[in-house]
Amino acid sequence: MEWLGHANIKFLHSPTPLILSKKDGTTTDLAKICEESTPPCQLNPFLFNGHAQTMMTAVKNDGPPVFYKRKIFDAEDPMYEGTFAVDFVVPPNTDVDDSLPIRTTYFSEKEFDGIASLDTRPMLVTLHGLSGGSYEIYLKHVLFPLIQEHETEQWEACVVNSRGCAMHKITSSILYNARATWDCRQTVKWLRKKFPNRPLFGIGFSLGANILTNYVAEEGDKCELKAAVVISNPWNLESGSLALQRTWLGREIYSKTMGGNMKRLLALHHDEVSKNPKLDFEKINNVQYLHEFDREVQGPTWGYPTEGAYYRDASSTDSLFSVKIPFFAINAEDDPIASKEALPYQEVQKNPYTVLCTTSLGGHLSWFELGGGRWHSRPAINFLNNMAFNVKLPAPAVANGEERFGRNHVSEFIPMRRKLVYRSE
């Protein structure tokens, strides 16, 4: 029963969740780790539903004081040419760069040349939400506690900024989309070479959660991440878009706000994106809602005939079938953006590597507690610490005595055989 902000918590997972060995010699399973990592969800009672919680995110402050230094990477894949920005968490400093978000500066060449390390600290790869960046408060509530100095438990972290976001000037005629896994993939490969002894983990928020889920699934059992958390993943993008259009609040508040944010992002990079002959800026200027932006920008850019085709192809629901690392998903059932009807209730029960935690309250990337804390940070941090420090890594390739999920399973359904095929002209 919900009362005074106390949300109900539910877990969905396979009947035979992944077996994990702990460092103390005992065994457990993924479902137990997720449940043990999740504290009671007691939210601010004055923010009594998903709309109130979500709208509270519009009240901006600096959030936890996380400091970054930025490195610009050249894309290695010629199919996705251009550059992208990765912000690495660094110790507090007084450096200032007005061209970048708060507490963010560029690495000097000398600093970056010396970044490599043989240490064994766990490292978190972070993906932000739609049109956001490393400055977002919701992700800093997770990063800040992890990077604090502890006797044995300290993390390193970085944020992969989607192209054009976080004051990064793009150098190609495209932004990014909900299937844009290539920059995450290149970053992970680079981290593996630069920090060969660090176990790598992933966390994604909203659209970044969708991208991270797709990335993990595309990598399958070759994924370099040891475990991942996704928060407020919209999952089924077509279902979510239709839900937004169904109500006045969804259409005129959320969809219009997100569509406006993406139009402004596109305008910031007009000089580059205007070189894309597939874009009709007369039509784009008339865009109001997010689905209209996706129709006029994402569709033509990536070759999708409709926004629905884009949504169906980029959605991460079916990707869950190909996930082969411990994977913890957290969603609020009153989320007005990542709607309840789009949640993968059945899919997570088919894969021993996945667990879905739902709360009856919380909104979208919100979960505000009394005092300004964000509840989602606590299960995420607890899960990551459990996987990094209490569980033997790599995780065993056995799920309840059976061979790794999907290894010998013969099926006509191949979840990561996407419809969109990239090719050179």
**Whether the Cβ atoms of residue 238 and residue 312 lie closer than 8 Å to each other:** yes
The band of 394, judged by pLDDT with boundaries at 50, 70 and 90, is low
> Is residue 423 scored above 50 in pLDDT?
no
pLDDT for the residue 79: 79
Q: Three-state SS string across the chain, please?
A: CCECCEECEEEEECCCCCEEEECCCCEEEHHHHHHHHCCCEECCCCCCCHHHHHHHHHCCCCCCCCEEEEEEEECCCHHHCCEEEEEEEECCCCCCCCCCCCCEEECCHHHHHCCCCCCCCCEEEEECCCCCCCCCHHHHHHHHHHHCCCCCCCCEEEEECCCCCCCCCCCCCCCCCCCCCHHHHHHHHHHHHHCCCCCEEEEEECHHHHHHHHHHHHHHHHCCEEEEEEECCCCCHHHHHHHHHHCHHHHHHHHHHHHHHHHHHHHHCHHHHCCCCCCCHHHHHCCCCHHHHHHHHHHHHHCCCCHHHHHHHHCCCHHHHHCCCCEEEEEECCCCCCCHHHCCCCHHHHCCCEEEEEECCCCCCCCECCCCCECCHHHHHHHHHHHHHHECCCCCCEECCEECCCCCCCCCCCCCCCCCCCCCC
pLDDT tens digits for 54-112?
Answer: 999 988 788 999 999 999 999 998 878 999 999 999 999 999 999 999 999 999 999 99
> Is residue 410 scored above 70 in pLDDT?
no
Domain assignment of residue 305, yes or no: no
> Is residue 220 scored above 80 in pLDDT?
yes
> Is residue 411 scored above 50 in pLDDT?
no
Exposure string of 301-328, with b = 16+ CB inside 10 Å and e = fewer, is bbebeebbbbbbbbbbbbbbbbbbbbbb
Domain assignment of residue 278, yes or no: no
Active site residue 131: no
User: What mean pLDDT is predicted for residues 160-179?
Assistant: 94
**For the chain, what is the domain count?**
1
User: What mean pLDDT is predicted for residues 4-32?
Assistant: 96
Domain assignment of residue 274, yes or no: no
Domain assignment of residue 1, yes or no: no
pLDDT for the residue 107: 97
Active site residue 239: no
Tokens of 248: 């006045």
Domain assignment of residue 14, yes or no: yes
Amino acid at 332: A
> Is residue 262 scored above 90 in pLDDT?
yes
Query: Choosing from 128, 269, 291, 364, which is the catalytic residue?
Result: 364
Domain assignment of residue 382, yes or no: yes
Domain assignment of residue 394, yes or no: yes
pLDDT tens digits for 352-389?
Answer: 999 999 999 999 999 999 988 999 999 999 999 999 99
Active site residue 206: yes
pTM for the complete prediction?
Answer: 0.93
CATH code for the domain of 377: 3.40.50.1820
Query: Choosing from 172, 206, 239, 377, which is the catalytic residue?
Result: 206
Distance CA(246)–CA(311), nearest Å, equals 17
Tokens of 42: 């007691």
Domain assignment of residue 409, yes or no: no
Domain span at 398: 6-236+315-403
Distance CA(265)–CA(165), nearest Å, equals 7
pLDDT for the residue 238: 97
User: What mean pLDDT is predicted for residues 217-243?
Assistant: 97
Query: Choosing from 29, 87, 294, 335, which is the catalytic residue?
Result: 335
> Is residue 3 scored above 60 in pLDDT?
yes
pLDDT tens digits for 273-283?
Answer: 999 999 999 99
